Structure 1
Amino acid sequence: MDPIRIAIVGMGKIARDQHLPAIAGNRAFGLAATVSPHDPGVEGVPHFAGLDDLLASGPAVDAVALCTPPQVRHDLASSALARGIHVFLEKPPGATLGEVAALQAQADKVGASLFAAWHSRFAAGVAPARAWLAERTIERVTITWREDVRVWHPGQAWIWEPGGLGVFDPGINALSIVTHILPRPIFLRGAKLEIPANRVAPIAADMTFSDTGGAALHMDLDWRQTGPQSWDIVVETDAGTLKLSQGGAVLTLPTGTDHAEDHEYPALYARFATLIRTGRSDVDVAPLRLVADAFLRGTRVTTNPFVD
């Protein structure tokens, strides 16, 4: 079977650190081109300043992986889908719920695969956590996602703009895990969003949720963390406490701790290949919907200006 010819659109850190190695390690794919107005691309691979240039005069591609900021992703995805090209959407899948719904409808109409790629769901501890929780009664969930924005997002102005999500850019990873592992749906009860005086997106958020069985969830997001970083989910159940730490890589159950190697992006591309080969899409917007609800219902509090 011929490899799926894929182009990467947006050659930032995530593309170079994760997408390129994952594609290189998966024989189902062949890197056909890269697209970026700023990055020179990969030696020996055709490179284009824009997706329109690639589609107009470049090599044929079967799929694109969109690693751009979410604010510009809809138009790029729509252009690809209009040509029957399969689309991999980095997280979050879009800047709004409406545009993701439009892309899903377009993909269904043309018969192309659309993949909203929540990479944290493929962390090593997530699948066994989901299986363990399936037969448990959830009593309480605590999410602590604290990191230093200057370390993880230096100089990325887009992340502070409308649609860039601010602290929800990492926080949505936690929500992608929680919505996947808990046996019942969750919904927002309330939120406080701390927004720097010189920005429009939050630098911190404190949120409360409930699942449909009445279990309480609390989420603490903060981009001002220095020293040790925290990416932890603790689930208290009738059978003891489950903890996912290091973003889902480490799973601790009452019986012990398991720490497996990172395989998020290789697993994402394996999933994308399966979707393409079977003619299906995978577009779960539950994490993005919860973030949208936080902006809809949350109380906004102005905090100190942020200077990168």
Structure 2
Amino acid sequence: MAEKLALVGIGKIARDQHIPAISANPDWALEATVSRHASVDGIPSYTELQSLLDERPDISTISLAIPPQPRFAYAEAALKAGRNVMLEKPPGQSLAECFALKSLAEEMGVTIFATWHSRFADCVPDLKSWLAARELKRLRIIWKEDVQHWHPGQEWIWEPGGMGVFDPGINALSIMTEILPHAVHVRDATLEFPDNRATPISAELRFTDPEGADVSAVFDWRQQGPQTWDIEIETTNANARLSLGGSKLEIDGELIREGSDNEYSNLYARMSELVRLRTSDMDLSPFIHVCDAFALGRRVVTSPFHY
């Protein structure tokens, strides 16, 4: 029997990704939505999460597709009501919030899943397997996109907790932390802040690798024309390039695989598995890199940004 699920937040990401993935998975049944301003045809809707929790004890799982700033209160309420919780990335606006939610889920005996959708791109497992058998010499993330196109009018992303360019950049970090056979940590960073915004529009990070590899990342929200979501890897005997956010893999210039947009379908399959096994997945390693970048980063003020 399908697990009953409620989706909180009916914005662009919910309509483009969450709802199609839920509808295509027989393990899930979308039973309700929560949003102050939107709804889904044919699905019962609520404007407050607490009303849903009070009125629908049969709904076992809450999926949160809302900005990170209010997410803790929603997740906390759902967990205290004994519901499983699925968190859109990033899992919160601070590490302390995430650790608190992880502990609460353990206390309540329910599942919590900090999702990193880019980790579930089709070619990420292939690259992880390929890299495991080789000695890494260099890894370079180039993640550049147009904020005007991908986040039109979304003021929350420029506020404290919204993370700015790290909102997409954390996707690349989630891939990096998945494919590397060992952990790295941020050594230094430079963050560019528009002088009218509280979060960065670009960032450059350099990492310390225990094996001595050169690991770095550049994120920029001012990209015009073609968008760039690449990870370039050099090893002792071959080179790889993961592009299109993880859906295209080339080795020494030869196309190995080009996948489809299955990230959210794979997320909901993973959530189904976690609920069935009564366990959780709360890996915070990509978020730790972002927090370290804010802590260690040199702040540079740049031109104002306006939509």
TM-score (norm 1): 0.98
Is 1:273 the counterpart of 2:263 in the alignment?
no
Residue from 121, 124, 131 that aligns with 1:123: 121
Q: Percent identity?
A: 49
Q: Structure 2: how far apart are the matches of 1:170 and 1:93?
A: 13
Aligned residue number for residue 70 of structure 1: 68
Aligned residue number for residue 88 of structure 1: 86
Residue from 244, 254, 257 that aligns with 1:246: 244
Aligned residue number for residue 140 of structure 1: 138
**Which secondary structure does the structure 2 equivalent of 1:275 belong to?**
helix
Listed one character per residue, the Cα deviations across residues 182-214 of structure 1 (whole Å, up to 9, x for unaligned) are 111110111000000000000000111122212
**Which secondary structure does the structure 2 equivalent of 1:88 belong to?**
strand
Whether the aligned pair in 2 keeps the contact of 1:142 and 1:235 (CA below 8 Å) is yes
Listed one character per residue, the Cα deviations across residues 91-149 of structure 1 (whole Å, up to 9, x for unaligned) are 00010001100100010111100001100001111000000111111001111000000
Q: Structure 2: how far apart are the matches of 1:83 and 1:160?
A: 32
Q: Structure 2: how far apart are the matches of 1:100 and 1:58?
A: 26
Q: Structure 1: how far apart are the matches of 2:151 and 2:145?
A: 10
Aligned residue number for residue 25 of structure 2: 26
**Which secondary structure does the structure 2 equivalent of 1:106 belong to?**
helix
The count of corresponding residues between Structure 1 and Structure 2 is: 306
**Which secondary structure does the structure 1 equivalent of 2:70 belong to?**
helix
Whether the aligned pair in 2 keeps the contact of 1:4 and 1:28 (CA below 8 Å) is yes
1:34-73 alignment to 2 at 5 Å? 34-39=33-38, 41-58=39-56, 60-73=58-71
1:1-308 alignment to 2 at 5 Å? 2-39=1-38, 41-58=39-56, 60-254=58-252, 256-257=254-255, 258-308=257-307
Partner AA of 1:159 in structure 2: I
Whether the aligned pair in 2 keeps the contact of 1:32 and 1:59 (CA below 8 Å) is no
Q: Structure 1: how far apart are the matches of 2:237 and 2:88?
A: 36
Unaligned residue ranges in structure 2 (runs of 5+): none
Q: Which of 209-218 and 267-276 deviates more?
A: 209-218
Whether the aligned pair in 2 keeps the contact of 1:33 and 1:59 (CA below 8 Å) is no
Q: Structure 2: how far apart are the matches of 1:213 and 1:51?
A: 47
Q: Structure 2: how far apart are the matches of 1:16 and 1:211?
A: 39
Deviation at 1:254, TM superposition (A): 3.0
Deviation at 1:58, TM superposition (A): 4.1
TM-score (norm 2): 0.98
Whether the aligned pair in 2 keeps the contact of 1:194 and 1:300 (CA below 8 Å) is yes
Deviation at 1:56, TM superposition (A): 2.2
Partner AA of 1:22 in structure 2: A
Q: CA RMSD in A?
A: 0.9
Structure 1's consecutive aligned runs of 4 or more residues displaced over 2 angstroms after TM superposition are: 56-60
Q: Structure 2: how far apart are the matches of 1:246 and 1:43?
A: 32
Partner AA of 1:297 in structure 2: L
Partner AA of 1:144 in structure 2: I
